[in-house]
Structure 1
Amino acid sequence: MPDVPPRITSPGTSRSTSATIAPNILHYLVRVTDACGVDLQPLLNRVGLDPTVMGSAELRVSYRQGSDVIRQAVELTGDEHLGLRVGAAQHLTAWGLLGFAMMAADTQEEAIETGVRYQNLSGAMTVWSAGWEDVGYVLRADLPDPALDPTVAVFLIEEAFSSVVTLTRLSIGASFAPQAVEFAFPAPRDTRPFDELFRCPLRFDAAGNRMVIPARWARAAMPGRDPITYTSVLDVLEKDMTSRREQQDVLEVLEISIAQSLPDIPSFIEQARKHASSERTLRRRLAECGTTYEAIVDGVRRERVEQLLRRPELTLRDIARQAGFADVSALRRAVRRWHGVTPLELRAGLLLREAPTSRPRA
């Protein structure tokens, strides 16, 4: 094997849970659950994703929205391997223009590195990295938040590796199999679906989530390789990446400003003035991100409430005051809208999931 080059990562891949992403996973999640006889549309409606919105090519959903839908979809289906099924249901077009670029790459290694570099455009909810290691060519998937709900964490890692294997078989050969796959989460009760899908040695309770790809497959030529097409598509992706990065910067700046101001909520006019922008320009930039100032405030408040509910010594009155609500009744209405439960029921669930006896996180 040649000298080991630096690991490939994507600019800005330290994705926060406030990031906005393409809803690719949710589209395939709906397809899979529909086939199981479970209608997710009422759930999608509750988080603001009605059919018209979901059909928009420009739609971006928050990481929080995606996580909520996934968690509740797993509960509704009762399918502990739902992530595997969603990944295996995907097609070569699942990653949009990025998938087209990967198909036009010269080798599988170049295709993977392209996917990693532009992962923020693909709707990925994990953070990918790749490179040669002592054991071979390694693709790693990390979670953006180590405190992510364990149910969502397991789903995301299953979906991530399942989709990679599925799309690789579709692009370079049905006989493809990794050299090994390691998962940081505990072994499920039934590992047969993993054996059937990956067809390689598996390890659970590992130090991290990684897939080792045999060198011959990493260096395999892509059937659709086309240098001219590949270069042309990369130019488009680079421009889109720059635009998305600028949009995300706007969201993060506003979220930080709101979080630092709680319990007070700065007005939209104050935010525009603070960040040297006109109201019209700031509103347009938020519209380009697929959101509004009110939605950002709601998201920051929600995150703050969830943090405060994890502190048993705080009363609901304390939490309402610190999160900027007028009274406990307003807090209750907000929590009911976000989670469909009362604040005390949400607190009980959060504390139960984080208790020492809860399932270890992925």
Structure 2
Amino acid sequence: MSLAPGPADAPGTSRSTSATIQPNILRYLIVVADERGIDLRPLLEQVGLDETVMRSAALRVSYRQGSALIRRALELTGDQRLGLKVGAAQHLTAWGMLGFALSAADTLQHAIETGVKYQNLSGAMVVWSAGVSVRDDAFVLRAELPDPAIDPNLAGFLIEEAFASVVTLSRLAIRPAFAPRTVEFSFPPPRQIDVYGALFGCPVRFGAPANRLVIDSEWARARMPGRDPVTYASTLELLDAQAASRRDQQDLLEVLEVSVAQSLPVVPSFGEQARRHTTSERTLRRRLADCGTTYEALVEGVRRERVEQLLLRPELTLRDIAHRSGFSDERALRRAVRRWHGTSPVHLREQMLRRTRHAP
């Protein structure tokens, strides 16, 4: 179950531009940065968000928006263990209805399996899976990256935040003494290893074949203090309805994104899109509002992705890129890249090519 499949999903676009992820991680990222005296709010506009919108319960962000904000936060703070801190700052209440369902589950394992099942509603930016080990009956939770080609700093943040949040929320839900048997990371050991043991309270292994959090069966079978089968069942009905609605929303966004991407450098008008969907402009605008976005923001996301794809091709000039992305000229392209990334297209190209060369 992938939150953000890669660019092969459709010609010229990828689902990473679809605004379908709850911004729980970003909200806590802002809180943690605030505690360190770093204001990330100016960066929100660069990724098409703002503080008022971030307070909306209906807000959904794209994987691309979330990744961009996290990368900039890592650069500004200089803290390579920022993911651990963001994960450790979280509460079940941030997960809304899903958090309520987890609290009403029967056991910790049951709660985690529920979270995995409804991960697309949780704001997760990794792909979760879970199962019981046939060898020793331990409960194993795995986290994979939706795109294995992302840069190591972002990858480390996402995996560390994921495991830190699971351990933190388990302690809040069960007992403060909770600790996994082991935590395994696929990336090499960092300089600061002691912070991992202090947070997880168990042996931590680096350079492992996969990112895994192993929980002893005694902890996995621990009863949830707020367990209630009736409340749990009724909450799942609401979550199923949300999941069905989310699928419809994601389908709409992806169809529109593909339509825009295939039409570039010409951008179809909103009226034309409504006609293609045999609906009125008012209805289509309302459906996009239900998705937490607008047609203008969707077009912006597709053009941004196209620019970033083309910048990775050194043989293309800025004039070529501007034309193929639907900009009137190079100046319009420069203004857009400055708005998105806070830098020039030339500098961004250098950064992206350098990052590609250093990718594992």
The interval holding the TM-score normalised by the smaller chain is: over 0.9
Give the deviation of 1:14 after TM superposition: 5.5
Structure 1: distance between partners of 2:198 and 2:353: 36
Q: Which runs of 5+ in 1 are unaligned?
A: 1-9
Which of 315, 340, 343 is matched with 1:341 structurally?
343
8 Å contact kept, 1:130–1:139: yes
8 Å contact kept, 2:149–2:359: no
Which of 202, 205, 214 is matched with 1:203 structurally?
205
SS in 2 for 1:181: strand
Which of 284, 291, 313 is matched with 1:311 structurally?
313
Structure 1: distance between partners of 2:51 and 2:304: 24
SS in 2 for 1:176: coil
| Counterpart for residue 226 of structure 1 | 228
Seq. identity, %: 66
1:324-345 per-residue CA deviation (whole Å, 9 max, x = no partner) reads: 2121111111111110111000
Structure 2: distance between partners of 1:322 and 1:284: 30
Q: How many residue pairs are counted as aligned between the two chains?
A: 348
Structure 2 residue 74 is matched with structure 1 residue 74 = yes
Structure 2 residue 285 is matched with structure 1 residue 286 = no
Amino acid at match of 1:181: V
Amino acid at match of 2:309: Q
8 Å contact kept, 1:17–1:144: no
Instruction: Using the TM superposition, name which of 327-336 and 37-46 deviates more.
Output: 37-46
8 Å contact kept, 1:138–1:213: yes
Q: TM-score, normalised by structure 1?
A: 0.92
| Counterpart for residue 301 of structure 2 | 299
Structure 2: distance between partners of 1:84 and 1:289: 30
SS in 1 for 2:140: strand
| Counterpart for residue 179 of structure 1 | 181
Amino acid at match of 1:101: A
Residues 1-362 of structure 1 mapped to structure 2, 5 A cutoff: 13=3, 16-19=15-18, 20-134=20-134, 136-355=138-357, 358=358, 360=360
Give the deviation of 1:359 after TM superposition: 6.0
Structure 1: distance between partners of 2:259 and 2:208: 38
Give the deviation of 1:232 after TM superposition: 1.3
8 Å contact kept, 2:140–2:214: yes
Structure 1: distance between partners of 2:181 and 2:16: 32
Structure 1: distance between partners of 2:250 and 2:165: 26
| Counterpart for residue 12 of structure 2 | none
8 Å contact kept, 1:17–1:145: no
Structure 2: distance between partners of 1:94 and 1:24: 6
Structure 2: distance between partners of 1:115 and 1:233: 13
Instruction: Using the TM superposition, name which of 162-171 and 140-149 deviates more.
Output: 140-149
Give the deviation of 1:46 after TM superposition: 3.2
8 Å contact kept, 2:106–2:227: yes
8 Å contact kept, 1:179–1:212: yes
Structure 1: distance between partners of 2:207 and 2:331: 43
Structure 2: distance between partners of 1:258 and 1:238: 30
8 Å contact kept, 1:98–1:121: yes
RMSD: 1.6
Structure 2: distance between partners of 1:49 and 1:273: 29
| Counterpart for residue 7 of structure 1 | none
Amino acid at match of 2:103: M
Amino acid at match of 1:162: A
Structure 2: distance between partners of 1:106 and 1:137: 15
SS in 2 for 1:354: helix
